[in-house]
Structure 1
Amino acid sequence: IGIASQPVQYQDGRHFDDKSNSDARFHMLRVERLVGGTNELSAYYGVYERSAAHYLDADGEETRQLLDARLGGAAQGFDWDVEAMLQRGSLGSKTIRAWAGGSRTGYTFDTLAWKPRIGLQLDIASGDRQAGDGRVGTFNPLFPNGYYFSLAGYTGYSNLIHVKPSITVKPLAMLSVQTAVGLLWRQTTADAVYTQPNLAVAGTAGQGERWTGAYAQLRTDYAFTPNLSGAVEAVHYTVGQTLRDAGGHDSNYLGMELKFSW
């Protein structure tokens, strides 16, 4: 799969006035293969370019080369999705050296009522360990989807350690209910705490402790028909002392969605 793209910039002056944004480009070559039956092995090489990037320790033209490898599959009740990412390049006059990894694993008890699944999600993304050293270590998640953690979007995939155990049950064939707790730390206290998409929280870089906070998540999904599904998600986020000292506070989120596909 090959992609060559230039995102669109909205003008917000009138309807349908978007235009190509020459300040950003993203290109990618991806290969996929089924191994061992239904296990999906994939890898991609990408190039991300931005003309006016701003980070805590660097500003200027950003060029990132991306390497990514992923393995996903299921067997005998177990399921897994494991991914590793490397980023190299330059940002202004400085070099980029960033990395990240993530995994989602679980086991489903098919013989029990409600078919409970016990899951564990682990994530880590690098931060910038030392200001002024000529190197940018903050991982760039590029175009992140907050759904990866929760739809609340309280945390970004930069300078992050994330541990999320969960339990999912199916009281009905078309209904699933998931409860989860997410625990969050910084990979390094020298860098900031980040929110979606990768925005640094002012007053957190070089301040406080690794612990960022925790969230509790409750989500229900229901398939009304093969083409129509709905979901309700509630999240309570409790900030750590570092965010509280920076002016942050606990938050609650409630979201409802209805999807129609064909």
Structure 2
Amino acid sequence: MWLGIPLLLAADAALAQFRPLRFDDDFSAQRQACADDNRSACWKDRPIGDHVRLSFGGDLRWRYEHTGNPRYGLEPQDRWGVWMQRHSAFVDLQVGEHWRGFAQLTSSHTNGRAAGSSPVDENRLDPTNLFVEWRSATQSDGGIGMRVGIQELQFGSGRGIDAREGPNVRRSFEAVRAYAISGPWRVDAFAAAPRQNRPGSFDDTRSQTQTLRGIYATRTGGATSWDVYALHYEDTLARYVQGVAHERRWTFGARAFGSRNAWDWNWELLAQGGQFGDADIRAWSLATDTGYTFDDVAGQPRLALLVAIASGDKDPDDDRLGTLNPLYPRGNYFGDEATLGPRNFFNIHPALAMRLSPQVQLNASLDFFWRYSTGDGVYAPSGMLIAPAGDSRARYVATIASLGATWTPAPGWSSSAVVAYARPGTFLREASADDALSLISLTLQYRF
């Protein structure tokens, strides 16, 4: 795999779009670039026998970041910053009209973190996808299928189930997933357990404590499209401020997204119920993203306002748990600094995006972050408690400003630079997390 990388880098990438989950790529469309002497495209949808076709590809990502006062001074300072590498290669084998096998190996390495590598930093070599799929002969207008094995899952905006692109180690599940497509509708039903990431080679295992089951339906078309879903999550060793107990949680949600003229929107509402030990679960969340694009202005700037809220627990000593469980959300939920997670919060987040050229996009945002409930603490994206509620009655957590630029110099190549500054609010200062956090990150990625 590694010996072939220099040759692949020398070739242009296929012109067809690469998808976040590479098994969703349209390999036959990518192969059309083979006629233009694109050597990597010639390895897409390549016939190798009667009714057998092979596709080969991968992802290479290099990332440097330096964080001043990690986690607002609660973690040791990195001396020179952190260097991260993630490389993956995949093979897709199509047999006849119905059968398919997909295998993707990924290697992730991190150096320089003073606090030591976290579970999302280091994974020497393990499969992120390894599954067999059966599907009906044609799915242009409809069809059914089933996928069994190790696989990445991502639904909607990634607020609840996401492959976790931001961190160095992506998230996979051992799952059985069935789907049906009919006209504007797609319905997925699945039963899954997350893979526990370990730093060695071929040592990741299925979680023995967590399971996820659900139905997710999407209807696209018209000005507004819809997602509706029902999920059941179970964790035999769930941990909250109330303690450690068996958690059984239902999530019912809906998302409306679309655009009309210069406006676009992406709104999602969910409610949760169930049991945490002997306590009843009552939690909810609302996330909104509303934007307006000035098409007649140079750079086509998009102004957006994101407002979101997630419930927290009011009293850890009562018989009710009010803390939202976001399940398996995207890693950098509120930004590249990735310090705060979507539990017990209320935030207002204005943002601006504009194109300086066809290849360069600029993004700027300002995030104001509060606690929803003063009886609950503040959490990291992983769900770990950063600061407990203690005796503080303060709500304001932090102000986070960020400026980023993305450059796509050629098909397959992308690069980004982000500068962020986070000033702790009253609550974090009272919890002794009183140092301002700064971040500089540089990322280069190649897909083929």
TM over 0.5: same fold?
A: yes
Match of 1:176 in 2: 361
> In structure 2, do the counterparts of structure 1 residues 10 and 149 end up closer, same or farther at CA, with 3 Å as the change threshold?
closer
Q: How does 1:204-219 map to 2 (within 5 A)?
A: 204-219=389-404
- In the alignment, which of 58, 76, 81 is matched to residue 261 of structure 2? 76
Q: How does 1:242-261 map to 2 (within 5 A)?
A: 242-248=427-433, 249-261=435-447
- 2:197–2:204 CA contact under 8 A, matched in 1: yes
One-letter amino acid of the structure 1 residue matched with residue 411 of structure 2: P
Segment of structure 1 superposing worse, 93-102 or 220-229? 220-229
- In the alignment, which of 151, 166, 171 is matched to residue 336 of structure 2? 151
Provide Cα deviations, 1:136-194, integer angstroms capped at 9, x if missing partner.
00001111223331011121100000101112121101211011100011111111122
Alpha-carbon shift at residue 197 of structure 1 (Å): 2.0
Gaps of 5+ in 1: none
Alpha-carbon shift at residue 234 of structure 1 (Å): 1.4
Q: How does 1:47-58 map to 2 (within 5 A)?
A: 47-58=232-243
- In the alignment, which of 396, 399, 413 is matched to residue 228 of structure 1? 413
One-letter amino acid of the structure 2 residue matched with residue 5 of structure 1: A
- 1:189–1:206 CA contact under 8 A, matched in 2: no
Higher strand share goes to which structure?
1
- In the alignment, which of 180, 191, 194 is matched to residue 7 of structure 1? 194
> In structure 2, do the counterparts of structure 1 residues 206 and 95 end up closer, same or farther at CA, with 3 Å as the change threshold?
farther
Match of 2:279 in 1: 94
Alpha-carbon shift at residue 40 of structure 1 (Å): 2.1
Larger of the two Rg values belongs to structure: 2
> In structure 2, do the counterparts of structure 1 residues 74 and 100 end up closer, same or farther at CA, with 3 Å as the change threshold?
same
Structure 1 segments of 4+ aligned residues over 6 angstroms from their partners: none
Q: Secondary structure at the match of 1:132?
A: coil
- 2:312–2:323 CA contact under 8 A, matched in 1: yes
- 2:362–2:406 CA contact under 8 A, matched in 1: yes
- 1:58–1:136 CA contact under 8 A, matched in 2: no
Q: How does 1:185-204 map to 2 (within 5 A)?
A: 185-204=370-389
Identity of aligned residues (%): 28
Alpha-carbon shift at residue 10 of structure 1 (Å): 4.0
Q: Secondary structure at the match of 1:243?
A: helix
- State how many pairs are aligned: 260
Q: Secondary structure at the match of 1:26?
A: strand
Q: What is the distance in 2 between the residues matched to 1:46 and 1:112?
A: 43
Alpha-carbon shift at residue 52 of structure 1 (Å): 0.5
- 2:378–2:388 CA contact under 8 A, matched in 1: no
- 2:392–2:430 CA contact under 8 A, matched in 1: no
- Indicate the RMSD between aligned Cα atoms, in angstroms: 1.6
Q: What is the distance in 1 between the residues matched to 2:408 and 2:424?
A: 34
Q: What is the distance in 2 between the residues matched to 1:253 and 1:130?
A: 35
Q: What is the distance in 2 between the residues matched to 1:205 and 1:223?
A: 47
- In the alignment, which of 221, 226, 235 is matched to residue 41 of structure 1? 226
One-letter amino acid of the structure 2 residue matched with residue 50 of structure 1: D
Alpha-carbon shift at residue 203 of structure 1 (Å): 4.1
TM normalised by structure 2 equals 0.56
Alpha-carbon shift at residue 236 of structure 1 (Å): 0.5
Alpha-carbon shift at residue 2 of structure 1 (Å): 1.8
One-letter amino acid of the structure 2 residue matched with residue 254 of structure 1: I
One-letter amino acid of the structure 2 residue matched with residue 210 of structure 1: R
- 2:211–2:233 CA contact under 8 A, matched in 1: yes
Match of 2:60 in 1: none
Q: Secondary structure at the match of 1:128?
A: coil
- 2:266–2:288 CA contact under 8 A, matched in 1: yes
Match of 1:63 in 2: 248
Q: What is the distance in 1 between the residues matched to 2:383 and 2:198?
A: 22
Provide Cα deviations, 1:28-52, integer angstroms capped at 9, x if missing partner.
2100102425x32111111111110
One-letter amino acid of the structure 2 residue matched with residue 236 of structure 1: Y
- 2:308–2:348 CA contact under 8 A, matched in 1: yes
Q: Secondary structure at the match of 2:428?
A: helix
Q: What is the distance in 2 between the residues matched to 1:117 and 1:11?
A: 41
